[in-house]
Amino acid sequence: MENELINFVDFERVDIRVGTIISAKPFPEARKPAVKLSIDFGGEIGVKQSSAQITVHYKPDQLIGRQVCAVVNFPPRQIGPFISDVLTLGMPDEEGAVVLIRPDHKVPNGGKLF
């Protein structure tokens, strides 16, 4: 994939926020192995749902209390019987399994990437 240049105004339109996972459950109905997440983004945004293909490196019970980054201004997406409100962000490891993006230190929920 060729890198397409965008301008800074385009980047500013992507609303990336930090939130804390408050619930994580297996999602066996998904086509690819996934986890259903409830993420608290604080007062302005509230709690949102996300489906994340993170089963290689993470067990649902290990995710509770972990902060993650997510795009919060994409339209909701239907994934099987589940509505995913936000896109939880991650990067692929050497084998392509997702590793979550998160802050190094605890920050307030709802904090915006800039």
pLDDT digits (tens, 9 = 90+) for 4-45: 899 999 999 999 999 999 999 999 988 889 999 999 999 999
Q: Which residue has the tokens 């409100």?
A: 85
Contact 39/45 with Cβ under 8 angstroms? Answer: no
Task: Please state the pTM of the whole predicted model.
Answer: 0.93
Residue 77 to residue 85: CA distance in whole angstroms:
7
CATH architecture type of domain 8-100: Beta Barrel (2.40)
Give tens-digit pLDDT for 51-109: 999 999 999 999 999 999 999 999 999 998 999 999 999 999 999 999 999 999 999 99
The structural domains of the chain, with segments of one domain joined by +, span 8-100
State the alpha helices, DSSP H only, in the chain: 8-13, 60-63
Contact 45/110 with Cβ under 8 angstroms? Answer: yes
